[in-house]
Amino acid sequence: MGNHVEKLTHLNYKEVPTADPTGMDRDEGPRIGVSYIFSNDDDELEPPPDPGVTDLAREHPLSQPYDPRLHEVECSVYYRDECIYQKSFTGDDTLPAEVDGGGGGHLATYTPENLLNKCKPGDLVEFVCQAQYPHWVVYIGDFQVVHLHRLEVVNGFLTDASQGRRGRIANQLYRYKPLSPATVVQNALDQVGCKDRDLSWRNSECFAAWCRYGKREFKIGGELRIGKQPYRLQIRLGDKRSHTLEFQSLEDLIMEKRRNDQIGRAAVIQELSSHLQAAEEEDSQDSGARTAAE
């Protein structure tokens, strides 16, 4: 199979025009984008799983211990030729969740109580659980976080926001230059109480990342979806195999990345393997038909 690139020429969402809310990134003028009919998502509000997804992705989240290497999809995100996000266990000493701390790797997960001993104001925290969308929060100090939850930006305790899930400090996933911790905290606090149609972020990850990096690309309609697709999501299927999807905007890519996180590694590999096998069979048939015609 090797490495494959697939261009997404359309999305499975209804789109309506929207203007870009002004972001922290002021290097360019306003950009025009689109917004989906479901304007935001979090644990309960993201699109439901695809009916065709294997039962491997539907097991109860607590039915077995959480192992990041077993459940999470290794991937990289590129803007043109620049890597702007990477989740990889290569060279990482992350261990299963039974060993709290997981050896200290940056993808290791911890109980909410142990996370409190590691977080500093301005840190991003990603809560993870099998068969659920990851939930991101901004740690602001004094055991508290700000996060997008159920169509509202709220302020609460980290332990409450975790809903019992394990978490990790997620500062190293995106490779943008971060704002100062004080600015990150202020960005988050300034949005507390924002809800429903006033929201500028599709999900908790986009909100938390915008607070830390100030990039308009994380906002709804933050980029112009015209022409070439500059973003690439490279999904690692094995040691020497990967599959690449192309997107016109970062928020579209994040939506797909989060869907993969929700259905899990085994389901993603099975889904892509079936797709690639069908594509190869179709190519083989086309080649045979051309040979016969000659």
pLDDT, tens digit, for every residue of 200-226?
999 999 999 999 999 999 999 998 877
pLDDT, tens digit, for every residue of 26-40?
444 333 333 333 334
**Coil, strand or helix at 20:** coil
For residue 3, list its beta bridge partners: 242
Q: What is 3-293's CATH topology?
A: endopeptidase fold (from Nostoc punctiforme) (3.90.1720)
Q: Which of 43-47, 134-138, 162-166 has the lowest mean pLDDT?
A: 43-47
Q: What's the pLDDT at 106?
A: 83
What pTM value is reported for the model?
0.76
State the chain's mean pLDDT as an integer.
78
Tell me what the mean pLDDT of segment 269-286 comes to.
68
Q: What's the pLDDT at 165?
A: 96
pLDDT, tens digit, for every residue of 258-268?
999 999 999 99
Tell me what the mean pLDDT of segment 157-175 comes to.
97
Q: Any idea where the domains of the chain sit in the sequence? A: 3-293
Q: What's the pLDDT at 97?
A: 45
